[in-house]
Amino acid sequence: MKSLRKMINIALPKGRLGEKAYGVFEEIGYGCPSIRETNRKLIFENEENGVRYFWVKPSDVAVYVERGVADVGVVGKDILLEQASDVYELLDLGMGKCRMAVAGKKGGRIDTDCTLRVATKFPNIAREYYRKQSLEIEIIELHGSIEIAPILGMSDVIVDIVETGTTLLENDLEPWEDIVSISARLIANKASYKFLNAPIRQMCEKMNEVITKKS
């Protein structure tokens, strides 16, 4: 007989974070073997374990969860801050650790007499950071390879993710100020958290156990 249990829909970020996060879901009993097959499919489900996974762009995870297409998802805190997503943040997964920082040319410094040109993929985080410092800025929004902007003189600084610091180092830049620490979070849609409360909480508790053991 077919199970009447509702599937939990999970949005996973494609790439470095998603693979790791899926490993944890698998470890706690929400595996979906077909997901390990290399193909271009984006949706995978395992009825037996009651889960359906979607592979989405990391910066889109919170959109799927906010709109309820996914009940839960895994997303970097950077995305949650940037998009001010209206979701519940259930758990710090302790992976995808990095930091948001201001960086500029080696040996340089901020000239407070001029409008500061800030190149970034995170305009809202950058605006909020400089608003608190009452500094006048101009945002130059880019979508990748941000480090190029100050090298070519297009910006004075960048606001970007720093993990190992290698990208800054290899481009003659250095971190000037740390803005916030970042890690991956388990998030839930607000309505799903109400109507699927028991299964989502159970999933969250199991994840917490695994993560605590690993840390």
Ligand X SMILES: Nc1ncnc2c1ncn2[C@@H]1O[C@H](COP(=O)(O)OP(=O)(O)OP(=O)(O)O)[C@@H](O)[C@H]1O
Where do contacts with ligand PRP occur on this chain (CB under 6 A)? 144-147, 160-167
Q: Tell which residue, 47, 48, 49, 55, has the closest CA to residue 10.
A: 55
Read off the tokens for 29: 């009993």
With CB cut-offs between 5 and 8 Å by kind, which of ligand X, ligand PRP, none does residue 106 bind? none
List binders of ligand X among 91-130 (CB under 6 A). Answer: 96, 98
List binders of ligand X among 133-152 (CB under 6 A). Answer: none
Name which of 61 and 162 has its Cβ closer to ligand PRP: 162
Both ends of the chain: CA-CA distance in Å? 41
Least Cβ distance, residue 61 to ligand X (angstroms): 9
What is the three-class DSSP state of 10?
Answer: strand
| Closest-approach residue to ligand X (CB) | 76
With CB cut-offs between 5 and 8 Å by kind, which of ligand PRP, ligand X, none does residue 71 bind? none
Q: Tell which residue, 8, 44, 42, has the closest CA to residue 28.
A: 8
What is the three-class DSSP state of 124?
Answer: helix
What does the angle CA 58 – CA 190 – CA 69 come to, to the nearest 5 degrees? 50
Interacting residue with ligand X among 15, 23, 29, 33 (CB under 6 A)? 15
Read off the tokens for 113: 């007499």
With CB cut-offs between 5 and 8 Å by kind, which of ligand PRP, ligand X, none does residue 160 bind? ligand PRP
Select from 8-16, 38-46, 63-71, 122-130 the region that touches ligand X (CB under 6 A): 8-16
